[in-house]
Structure 1
Amino acid sequence: MSEALLDALGQIHTLATGEPRIVSLVPSLTELLCELGLADRLVGRTGFCIHPRDTLRRIPKVGGTKDVKVEAVRTLAPTHLVVNIDENRRDTVEALAAFVPTVIVTHPCMPADNFGLYRLFGGIFGRMEEAAALTRALQAAIAEAAATAAGLPPEKVLYLIWRQPWMAVSPATYIAAMLAAVGWQTLPAATEPRYPEIDWRAPWLGEVQRVLLSSEPYRFGEAHLAEVTALCGRPAMAVDGEYCSWYGSRAAAGLHYLARLRRAVARPGVQTGG
């Protein structure tokens, strides 16, 4: 007997029949659907769903991840809605569930959770071969990340996502789990709030060895590297936020990226900015 297809709420899903009409409210999962060969089944997406760019230009937008236009979704008559516990508002999803027959709820918290996403989407939409290929790619990426972490001493980092107020990520986030895979331990150590504001006078900042400035949601630039180093006296470097925070099909590429970066900055003489 095959294993049941369960989403993040424990809802059981079955193979879609007919011609699915999918609305995705999650940028990472819109990209995953396209990687699975389902671009022609997408009928709606958010304005933040931007990859793959050329493919998505023809797909209607239905607002943002937090401000979905419910009536715009209704007009598209979707059979399936893809949402995420962190990225979408519960009240909006409940309103959409009143007329969308199938709502797929996701909540990946670490790189390995993507295996479940591949199986879930592959099983629902009949793309198991494509899902298996993504699984193999992620297995290789996780192995590379683990080897990188094992070959270097752990390093404590501060991963910044916003400025004014300065904000970081806690160890309870998917981003922190991606960084931990290559041996970067995020501070502050408290798991709540998940996206804490930073007081540059906090005693725990003395433990930070490196500051990582994400390219999203705040677009940090070169000028911010020197600013951050002046604030905390630690080396700062820019990182690609999409590789660190986008799950789904981008997870393998993200782990490869972080493993390469971790090894590069560990080499003597490498300049990291700041």
Structure 2
Amino acid sequence: MDLHLQDKVIIVTGGGRGIGAGIVHALAREGAIPVIVSRSAEHNLATLEAIGGKGYQIALDLTNPAACQAAVTETLRLTGRIDGLVNNAGVNDGVGLESGNYEAFMASLHKNLVHYYLMAHYALPALKASQGSILNITSKTAETGQGNTSAYAASNGGRNALTREWAVELLQYGIRVNAIVVAECMTPLYESWLQTLNDPETTLEKIKDKIPLGKRMTTQEEIADMAAFLLSSRSSHTTGQLIHVDGGYVHLDRALL
């Protein structure tokens, strides 16, 4: 299926690794021009060239509000347009109710939520011009809870709410806004977390056993393929949706399987 993404310029925050990198590669394979925004120049653009794609990288720390505007300004300088925005950067940093404090909670909101708003705010004029789309990557923690991660759960609740709010506000401009809700997906950060446990292999098997469809982790490629579709004109009548690419983890009754 041709997704009609050829030469579309799409910003991907946190696009240097994990789910973000998967989205970057999926977009490049469709002929889009991803602009990776991450804290360091950790993504080798040669990997895009190897699959016949091209892209750009901007090294900025989006926890600094001024960096969000700079990322949009630099994208426009490099490409002259913005056709899509993927808000993806963030980390489950374990700021809990008992273990956290005001400073840690607010810092986590800046890591995980505030830049979602600022990137969309600064990119909006260009998205109006292109009638582009916004895709927010969010987490099951907003719906299921997890324990000891109040700030991250609150951030993802905010991401979900902003998805619906922006979908309403931007209807008049023809800008679609959707979200992908991620549950158990194997990424470098997830793997790093597993390795902090006493018995990573046993823990992973227990987690996979709770995933209804196939008893396996969601792959980065499965998230990325949905992302490319939602950013494309093939999903032209889809907006305000929270799409769960999770093997049924959140909504199916696992006790019955």
Please indicate the TM-score interval, normalised by the length of the shorter structure. Answer: 0.3 to 0.5
- TM (norm. structure 1) is 0.35
- TM (norm. structure 2) is 0.37
Larger relative contact order (Cα-Cα within 8 Å, sequence gap ≥ 6):
2
**Structure with the higher fraction of residues in helix conformation:** 2
